[in-house]
């Protein structure tokens, strides 16, 4: 209510036509912002959902495994750009005679498209934001898994805030793994193990782009706060010092978007409209992993794939 009341107070100052122009521009920017940042938000789900285990075998009580992991996310070409179509826009248009053009997503290249719009007859122009211009993203994270009672383990992981060009990424996650094969007599003493895994991840992706200067403000960043729950069934088999594992799962995610910059009117209008984008999404995924033990150490690699492919390389120590 305070925001709505403030908007009505601002109408006489800016004029109805200017207020309508700001509203239509906000609607256009919401559409463009969603297309620009959604691939990065979905990619973050796959970054956060892999590498949670090295084996489905149950840990003994208070057994502790500490891991240092490198995370490599591959960016497919289909996620590198999106189509700007003037027929979907109300105020913003492509400069020149073209009515549609490809422009980078947050995961795309550095080619830009010159866009323009008008507020109360005042024409302005700006470049569409650039992408990361990389074929993959990499970061490091620390993870620990502690054995509890009845074949259950609790897992925690953290990825400190890192910078990838103009993009920042950070993650905090928790998980529970429960061994299922212990309840099946024929599997209890075999080399095969089955388990269920539930994980929760809270992550932030923030991107600073070339400032978009409007007559009523400046836009220069977009922030995505996300949380994801993943549910997986996993199996592993021990062959000598090797453990081969695989899993299938479903990740459900919620995202919240926010635009940063200057200008209370345009930021308030734009971020209120962005609330309409806050929605749940579901992604199926699969994991394939190999772990090699060397006394108390082990080295593992795991490939998580679905809409995106993510590779984990970890060094683990078992206390």
CA-wise closest residue to 143 among 129, 155, 135, 128: 155
Distances (CA, A) of 107 to 136, 137, 305, 312: 9, 9, 17, 20
What pLDDT is stored for residue 4 in this prediction?
A: 30
- Predicted confidence band at 163 (pLDDT cuts at 50, 70, 90)? confident
CB 243 within 8 A of CB 236: yes
Total domains in the chain come to 1
What pLDDT is stored for residue 222 in this prediction?
A: 81
HSE, CB side, 13 Å, CA atoms: give it for residue 127.
10
pTM value is 0.82
The mean of the pLDDT values for the chain is 85
CB 154 within 8 A of CB 176: yes
What pLDDT is stored for residue 141 in this prediction?
A: 93
Query: C-alpha angle with apex 292: 289 to 297, nearest 5 degrees?
Result: 120
82-116 pLDDT, tens per residue? 999 999 999 899 998 889 999 999 888 888 899 99
> Which residues, in sequence order, are bridge partners of residue 66?
144, 317
Distance, CA of 42 to chain centre: 5
Q: Element (H or E) spanning 153, and its range? A: strand 152-164
d(CA 144, CA 44): 21
Q: Is it the case that residue 255 has pLDDT exceeding 70?
A: yes
Q: In the predicted model, what is the mean pLDDT of residues 53-65? A: 94
Q: Is it the case that residue 14 has pLDDT exceeding 70?
A: no
For residue 124, what are the domain limits? Answer: 2-318
d(CA 23, CA 269): 7
Q: Is it the case that residue 16 has pLDDT exceeding 50?
A: no
Q: Element (H or E) spanning 119, and its range? A: strand 114-119
What pLDDT is stored for residue 212 in this prediction?
A: 76
User: Residue ranges of the alpha helices (H) in the chain?
Assistant: 2-14, 16-49, 185-188, 264-274
Q: Is it the case that residue 277 has pLDDT exceeding 70?
A: no
What pLDDT is stored for residue 156 in this prediction?
A: 97
What pLDDT is stored for residue 19 in this prediction?
A: 65
33-46 pLDDT, tens per residue? 888 888 888 888 88
What CATH number did the domain enclosing 314 receive?
2.40.128
d(CA 148, CA 144): 13
CB 58 within 8 A of CB 312: no
187-241 pLDDT, tens per residue? 777 889 999 999 999 988 887 877 777 777 788 888 888 899 999 999 999 999 9
d(CA 35, CA 104): 9
The two tokens of residue 306 are: 């679905």
């Amino acid at each position: 209510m305070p925001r709505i009341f403030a908007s009505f107070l601002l109408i006489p100052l800016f004029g109805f036509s200017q207020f309508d122009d700001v509203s239509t521009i906000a609607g256009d920017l919401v559409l463009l912002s969603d297309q620009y940042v959604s691939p990065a938000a979905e990619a973050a789900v796959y970054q956060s959902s892999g590498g949670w285990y090295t084996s489905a075998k149950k840990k003994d009580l208070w057994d502790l495994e500490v891991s240092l992991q490198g995370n490599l996310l591959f960016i497919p070409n289909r996620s590198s750009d999106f189509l700007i179509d003037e027929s979907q826009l109300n105020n913003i248009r492509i400069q020149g005679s073209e009515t549609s053009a490809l422009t980078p997503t947050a995961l795309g290249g550095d080619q830009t498209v010159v866009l323009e719009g008008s507020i109360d007859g005042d024409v302005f122009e700006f470049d569409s934001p650039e992408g990361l211009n990389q074929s993959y993203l990499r970061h490091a994270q620390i993870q620990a898994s502690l054995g509890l009672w009845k074949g259950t383990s609790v897992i925690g992981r953290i990825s400190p805030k890192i910078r990838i060009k103009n993009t920042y990424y950070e993650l905090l996650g928790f998980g529970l793994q429960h061994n299922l094969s212990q309840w099946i007599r024929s599997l209890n003493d075999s080399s095969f193990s089955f388990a269920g895994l539930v994980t929760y991840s809270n992550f932030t992706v923030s991107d600073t782009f070339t400032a978009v200067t409007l007559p009523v403000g400046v836009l220069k960043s977009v922030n995505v706060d996300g949380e994801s729950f993943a549910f997986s069934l996993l199996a592993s088999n021990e062959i000598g010092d090797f453990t081969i594992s695989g899993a299938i799962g479903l990740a459900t995610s919620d995202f919240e978007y926010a635009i940063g910059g200057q200008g209370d009117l345009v930021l308030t209008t734009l971020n209120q409209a962005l609330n309409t984008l806050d929605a749940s999404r579901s992604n199926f995924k699969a994991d394939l992993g190999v772990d090699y033990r060397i006394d108390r150490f082990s080295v593992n690699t795991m490939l998580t794939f679905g809409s995106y492919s993510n590779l984990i390389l970890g060094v683990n120590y078992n206390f």
